[in-house]
Amino acid sequence: MNRHIVVLGGGLTGLSSAFHLSRRFPESFITLIEKTSRFGGWISSERVQVRDEDGRSAEILLESGPRTLRPNAKSVLELINILGLKDSVITTPVTSSAAKNRYLQIPETQGLITLPNSLTSVFSPPMRTMLLPHVLQEPVKRGNRPTGVTDESVDSFMSRRFGPIFARTFGSALVHGIYAADSRQLSVRAAFPSLWEMEDRGWGSVVRGALRSKPKKSQGDYDVGDIPEMMEGVSVYSFKDGMGTLPGALVEHLQNQSNVELLRDSPISSFGVVDGGQMEIRLADGQTINPTHIVSALPLPVLQNLLYPNSSLPYLTVNPSSSVVVLNLVFSQRQHSLHPSGFGYLVPRPPSGYSLDNPGILGTVFDSCALSAQDSNATNFTKMTVMLGGPHPITVSHTNIDTVLKHLSVHLTGPDDYLKVMPEPILVRTRHHVDCIPTPTPGHLDRMKDLKNALATGIWAGRLEVIGAGVRGVSLGDCVESGKRAGESFIP
């Protein structure tokens, strides 16, 4: 059957869907519709020229959205292979200081503490007291998952197994780094399914479960060529010209496919099923499209707003989303004079909770250390990215550069006294990302099963799929993977 499949939303999920649909259904016609003039969604890489007071200049790459990928996402390795991006990849080896050194900044204290990166480092202070007792006690603690509980928050899970202080210090920091969310709201099964499985495998203990070998999962079918060999010993990676390389290459590829049409600057104003059972998409310019199948790669609350009243779907607005302020900073100093060598640091939830009195900083990435190959002639410059907001209520005063520098001075002044006062940066780039990362709350996986059932039956009858960061996982790997699976549940 010759289908006309329309993909809604040209972020990475939508681009990956169009790419895989055009290969899976070569006889079908694919239309990808994007609201803005640019594909890629939250991915945004920009190269800028900077100059210091002595006239030395450098080219610096700024990321205001995602910046690193993990090599375990096979679906991204597949894109790198098929799109011929191998030579653009830059990697951070597991042996590098950027991979080994990650830090925590404990609120209301000064300086950073190093997270353990080896078994021996767990026994050194301060981890010997902060981490070790909780981890050693966990395997001998009785199983304590309440009967009938099928999901809970990350904080509740970690508090149950490792105690509330561990959960607040390590769990909340981890969640700030990935979801920019409150660990007391985030579903452990949606965000960290392996933790839940370890507890099952270890008869109630996460540590025992981690030590038992896990059943092998099917690796799936990925055309990865020799890219996995290239990724051996790699902690994280990106591209020489930043994450924008990925959507850029996808767009270039799709433009050359005879069965694909890309519509940009084309906001969808509404869509649904009309009398007679036909599906209809209306664009803001008045155009109407009647496809045979639709893949929505839109954020779920956006989808809810676009659906005709008779075509509504369950659970699209149950989960909240985090808003984040991203501050790119470039200093005309060498990095070792500003911060220790490493990937960066995360700041856990303050003991008193989230309030306007806190700095509102979720964490800082030491970009120059992690992916320096993205910049040219930049040895005399240091690039950092500060993330603020998420569960912290923040105002303009929190993102004011002088306020941020004051807090960075406290964070980056440690026993080695990097600097007492942060210097003025030569470049400050501030981006406010509203509702950019969804927070799947407990019960998310069951709700998404119900949503899938609703799509397979009734007026949609297997002709609409809903995918993207709000459904299956927020990492770029999850988004590309959900695009690879697009069309799997279509009913002709």
Measured distance CA(192)–CA(473) in Å, rounded: 10
Sheet of 4-8: strand order equals 260-263, 29-33, 4-8, 293-296, 464-466
Q: Contact region for ligand FAD (CB under 6 A) — 37-45, 327-335, 353-361, 452-460?
A: 37-45
Judged by CB under 6 A, does residue 371 bind ligand FAD?
A: no
Judged by CB under 6 A, does residue 360 bind ligand FAD?
A: no
Between residues 67 and 184, which has the closer beta carbon with respect to ligand FAD?
Answer: 67
Between residues 224 and 325, which has the closer beta carbon with respect to ligand FAD?
Answer: 325
**Closest alpha carbon to 294 in 304, 276, 280, 308:** 280
Q: What residue has token string 């010997």?
A: 128
Q: Which of 26, 36, 84, 128 binds ligand FAD (CB under 6 A)?
A: 36
Site for ligand FAD in 99-158 (CB under 6 A): none
Measured distance CA(348)–CA(361) in Å, rounded: 9
3-state secondary structure of 2: coil
Q: Contact region for ligand FAD (CB under 6 A) — 34-42, 157-165, 244-252, 421-429?
A: 34-42
Judged by CB under 6 A, does residue 298 bind ligand FAD?
A: yes
Give the helix, strand, coil percentages of the chain, each rounded to 5: 35, 20, 45
Alpha helices, DSSP H only, in 286-363? 300-306
Report the b/e string of 359-389 with b at 16+ CB within 10 A.
bbbbbbbbbbbbbbebbeebeebbbbbbbbb
For residue 303, the minimal CB distance to ligand FAD (Å) is 9
Q: Which of 17, 25, 30, 35 binds ligand FAD (CB under 6 A)?
A: 35
Q: Contact region for ligand FAD (CB under 6 A) — 50-58, 211-219, 346-354, 475-483?
A: 475-483
Measured distance CA(66)–CA(465) in Å, rounded: 25
Judged by CB under 6 A, does residue 469 bind ligand FAD?
A: yes
Measured distance CA(330)–CA(238) in Å, rounded: 19
How far, in Å, are 4, 18, 276, 339 from residue 492 at the CA level? Answer: 11, 18, 17, 57
**Closest alpha carbon to 90 in 103, 71, 66, 117:** 71
Write out the two tokens for 98.
Answer: 């950027």
- Show the site string, 429-448: x = touches ligand FAD by CB under 6 A, - = not: ----x--xx-----------
For residue 305, the minimal CB distance to ligand FAD (Å) is 8
Judged by CB under 6 A, does residue 50 bind ligand FAD?
A: no
Between residues 28 and 328, which has the closer beta carbon with respect to ligand FAD?
Answer: 328
3-state secondary structure of 12: helix
Between residues 115 and 167, which has the closer beta carbon with respect to ligand FAD?
Answer: 115
For residue 417, the minimal CB distance to ligand FAD (Å) is 30
Site for ligand FAD in 59-88 (CB under 6 A): 65-69
For residue 227, the minimal CB distance to ligand FAD (Å) is 17
Q: Contact region for ligand FAD (CB under 6 A) — 30-38, 52-60, 102-110, 201-209?
A: 30-38
Measured distance CA(134)–CA(257) in Å, rounded: 55
Q: What residue has token string 């392996």?
A: 194
Measured distance CA(269)–CA(271) in Å, rounded: 7
Q: Which of 104, 112, 207, 268 binds ligand FAD (CB under 6 A)?
A: 268
Judged by CB under 6 A, does residue 291 bind ligand FAD?
A: no
Judged by CB under 6 A, does residue 474 bind ligand FAD?
A: yes
For residue 326, the minimal CB distance to ligand FAD (Å) is 5
For residue 489, the minimal CB distance to ligand FAD (Å) is 18
Write out the two tokens for 216.
Answer: 């092998």
Q: Contact region for ligand FAD (CB under 6 A) — 4-12, 80-88, 227-235, 410-418?
A: 4-12
Residue 357: how many other CB atoms lie within 10 Å? 9
3-state secondary structure of 427: strand
Q: Which of 191, 371, 378, 479 binds ligand FAD (CB under 6 A)?
A: 479
Between residues 39 and 222, which has the closer beta carbon with respect to ligand FAD?
Answer: 39
For residue 487, the minimal CB distance to ligand FAD (Å) is 16
Judged by CB under 6 A, does residue 408 bind ligand FAD?
A: no
> Under rule CB under 6 A, how many of the chain's residues touch ligand FAD?
35
How far, in Å, are 39, 135, 425 from residue 141 at the CA level? Answer: 50, 10, 50
Q: Which of 6, 85, 174, 326 binds ligand FAD (CB under 6 A)?
A: 326
The residues of the shown chain that bind ligand FAD, judged by CB under 6 A, are: 9-14, 33-36, 41-43, 65-69, 267-268, 297-299, 302, 324, 326, 433, 436-437, 468-469, 474-476, 479
